[in-house]
Amino acid sequence: MSTQAIDNLPILDDEINDLPNICGWEDHLKTLALSPPSQRNLQLDQISAGFAIALHMHQPTIPAGANGELICNLQYMFEHPNEGDNHNAAPFADCYRRMADFIPNLISQGCNPRIMLDYSGNLLWGLRQMGRTDILNDLKRLTTDPTTRNHIEWLGTMWSHAVVPSTPIADIPLHIRAWQHHFASLFGWDALARVRGFSPPEMHLPNDPDTCYAFVRALNDCGYQWVLLQEHTVEHSDGTPLTDPYIPHSLVAVNSQGERASITALIKTQGSDTKLVGQMQPYYEAKTQQRRTLNGVTIPALVTQISDGENGGVMMNEFPSAYHQAWQEMRDQSGAHQSVVGMNGTEYLDYLAMLGLSETDFPICQPAGQHRIWQSVAPEEITPECLQAVIKALKQENSGFSLDGSSWTNEISWVEGYQNVTTPLKELSQLFHTMIQPLQGNSVEGIPLTQQHRYRNALLHLLLLQTSCFRYWGQGAWTDYAREIYRRGWDILTYDF
């Protein structure tokens, strides 16, 4: 990426005609240079291990307002407190802002806290729609204040929490860019320039060769330097499980044309139990780890975890005290006796870079299940036709072989039984690109296509339809929401273009 002075970039509004700012400044994103490594107050040369934890926050957008308008599910929870678990609306809202209290308080106590934050675009827009500028302002203060900003790290994600394996390939970069647009409009270009890691919704990694390649290539093109992956969604090149998830890996993706793309991966261990973060298990696990030697260089191990930041009693009630206790304990052990420290993902990778280590030094991994494909195809023989034949043969040999990807919720399929959502999803995507493609480069009264209301409105509905919740929560009201968003998106593309 070439450098562009942040001072010369336009100040963006986070809402434009009541729609989230998710497009229109693509050229600025392409030329935005990542910020150089910041000076950190960590001493990593002697520690045995570190740990990094991330909080994932999401609420879907649903057509359930008083007049059917798009609203945040959190708003619906507040307005319907007697349905299901909707009584948790206020605690959830507090969870979305409380790190803005935790971090400064711990700093004032002489602690050195860290946290990574992963917020979906739906949630960020929903907070604006609800008028919860108190939460957004607190998050902005945490992100931009010089006393706190180096203690947190934002992770990019798919704007509307779409799971990558079942997202149409052409739409993957649209989600990634939409989140970048929206984040910059809320927290500033300088804050976006510090976002280097990416968190896939549901830790869902595609194992279809073309989809995985498109995903990794999009991350490269959008300036990301690393991605957070679930341990059991990847394998070594020989098909064996990872032997050491506590060091960085290089995720290598190969498509049906034989093209390769790669990106550094930090590995999230174990499953999706919120207790792992809620009770600060990564800190205590890091105490059991020793330094590693990588290409002749001795480095600390890194235990990495992500969890829902609000969902469940452990995160709502136990996490605050456990989080504070861990950092206070580390403060009291600082100095010669400190063997473990908390850090964020980019801090760890910047430290390894300072030692001369980069992605080419990390062990290679690939999506789980791909070994069975590549052991049947020589690199020089890869063609779309050859790959299709191999995949067909593997499915015939083993009915359990699948290219639907894998996530931290493998007991849930994001495809099987949801044709009433996935089929319209594909149809709307195809119509979107059919209508948009001929208009690329056109402007109306000097306004580029991607800054026009009709484009932003169509893109919004395209992205919203791909929200994972419309499949995660089963048939019924949630699939009805998806069908309504599909209908509105189809009307926008049919009548406004």
Q: Looking at the structure, do residues 342 and 424 belong to the same domain, yes or no?
A: no
- Determine the length of the chain: 497
CA distances from 144 to 70, 194, 287, 347, 482 (A): 30, 11, 32, 17, 36
Contact 75, 130 (CB under 8 A): yes
Compute the distance between CA of residue 63 and CA of residue 471 in angstroms, rounded to an integer.
16
Structure-token pair, residue 450 = 């991607």
Structure-token pair, residue 323 = 């989080």
Q: Looking at the structure, do residues 106 and 187 belong to the same domain, yes or no?
A: yes
**What 8-state DSSP symbol labels residue 443?**
E
Total domains in the fold of the chain: 2
Give the distance from CA 8 to its chain's centroid: 28
Assign residue 135 a region: left if phi > 0, alpha if psi is -120 to 50, beta otherwise?
alpha
- Number of Cβ atoms within 10 Å of the Cβ of 298: 10
Q: Looking at the structure, do residues 428 and 303 belong to the same domain, yes or no?
A: no
Q: Looking at the structure, do residues 326 and 253 belong to the same domain, yes or no?
A: yes
Tell me if residue 2 falls in helix, strand or coil.
coil
CA-based nearest residue to 24, from 174, 220, 192? 174
Compute the distance between CA of residue 146 and CA of residue 430 in angstroms, rounded to an integer.
45
Q: Looking at the structure, do residues 165 and 251 belong to the same domain, yes or no?
A: yes
CA-based nearest residue to 117, from 142, 89, 146? 142
Q: Would 26 be classed as within a structural domain?
A: no
The dihedrals phi and psi of 203, each to the nearest 5 degrees, come to 50, 35
Q: Would 79 be classed as within a structural domain?
A: yes
Q: Looking at the structure, do residues 254 and 329 belong to the same domain, yes or no?
A: yes
Contact 178, 23 (CB under 8 A): yes
What is this structure's pTM?
A: 0.95
Q: Would 22 be classed as within a structural domain?
A: no
Q: Looking at the structure, do residues 344 and 479 belong to the same domain, yes or no?
A: no
Q: Looking at the structure, do residues 429 and 344 belong to the same domain, yes or no?
A: no
Question: What is the model's pLDDT at position 32?
Answer: 87
Structure-token pair, residue 267 = 């590995």
* Residue ranges making up the domain that contains 231: 32-366
CA-based nearest residue to 4, from 248, 193, 150, 187? 193
**What 8-state DSSP symbol labels residue 411?**
T
Contact 210, 420 (CB under 8 A): no
Compute the distance between CA of residue 222 and CA of residue 156 in angstroms, rounded to an integer.
10
Q: Would 252 be classed as within a structural domain?
A: yes
Structure-token pair, residue 294 = 């990588």
Q: What is the dihedral of CA 263, 267, 271, 275, to 10 degrees?
A: -120
Tens-digit pLDDT string for the chain (497 aa): 344 567 788 999 999 999 999 999 999 998 887 777 766 788 888 899 999 999 999 999 999 999 999 999 999 999 999 999 999 999 999 999 999 999 999 999 999 999 999 999 999 999 999 999 999 999 999 999 999 999 999 999 999 999 999 999 999 999 999 999 999 999 999 999 999 999 999 999 999 999 999 999 999 999 999 999 999 999 999 999 999 999 999 999 999 999 999 999 999 997 666 788 999 999 999 999 999 999 999 999 999 999 999 988 888 999 999 999 999 999 998 765 678 999 999 999 999 999 999 999 999 999 999 999 999 887 788 899 998 988 888 888 876 787 776 655 555 555 555 677 788 899 999 999 999 998 888 888 889 999 999 999 999 999 999 999 887 766 778 989 999 999 999 999 999 99
Q: Would 143 be classed as within a structural domain?
A: yes
Q: Would 373 be classed as within a structural domain?
A: no
The domain boundary, picked from 333, 366, 399, lies at 366
Question: What is the model's pLDDT at position 336?
Answer: 58
Q: What is the dihedral of CA 226, 232, 234, 240, to 10 degrees?
A: 140
Structure-token pair, residue 195 = 């976002």
The dihedrals phi and psi of 76, each to the nearest 5 degrees, come to -60, -40
Tell me how many helices (H) and strands (E) the chain has.
20, 19
Q: Looking at the structure, do residues 324 and 219 belong to the same domain, yes or no?
A: yes
Contact 364, 265 (CB under 8 A): no
Q: Looking at the structure, do residues 241 and 338 belong to the same domain, yes or no?
A: yes
CA-based nearest residue to 185, from 344, 352, 28, 348? 28
Strands (E), 276-408: 292-294, 297-299, 301-308, 340-342, 364-367
**What 8-state DSSP symbol labels residue 406?**
B
Question: What is the model's pLDDT at position 291?
Answer: 96
Q: Looking at the structure, do residues 266 and 133 belong to the same domain, yes or no?
A: yes
The domain boundary, picked from 366, 382, 408, lies at 366
AA identity, residue 384: P
Q: Looking at the structure, do residues 70 and 175 belong to the same domain, yes or no?
A: yes
Q: Would 386 be classed as within a structural domain?
A: no
Count how many Cα atoms sit within 13 Å of the Cα of residue 400 in the half-sphere of its side chain. 3
Q: Would 146 be classed as within a structural domain?
A: yes
Contact 331, 112 (CB under 8 A): yes
CA distances from 476 to 58, 233, 387 (A): 21, 30, 37
The dihedrals phi and psi of 303, each to the nearest 5 degrees, come to -95, 125
Assign residue 445 a region: left if phi > 0, alpha if psi is -120 to 50, beta otherwise?
left
Compute the distance between CA of residue 254 and CA of residue 208 in angstroms, rounded to an integer.
10
Say which CATH number the domain at 344 has: 3.20.110.20
Compute the distance between CA of residue 197 and CA of residue 118 in angstroms, rounded to an integer.
10
Q: Among positive and negative, which fits the CA dihedral 129, 132, 134, 138?
A: negative
Compute the distance between CA of residue 256 and CA of residue 382 in angstroms, rounded to an integer.
6
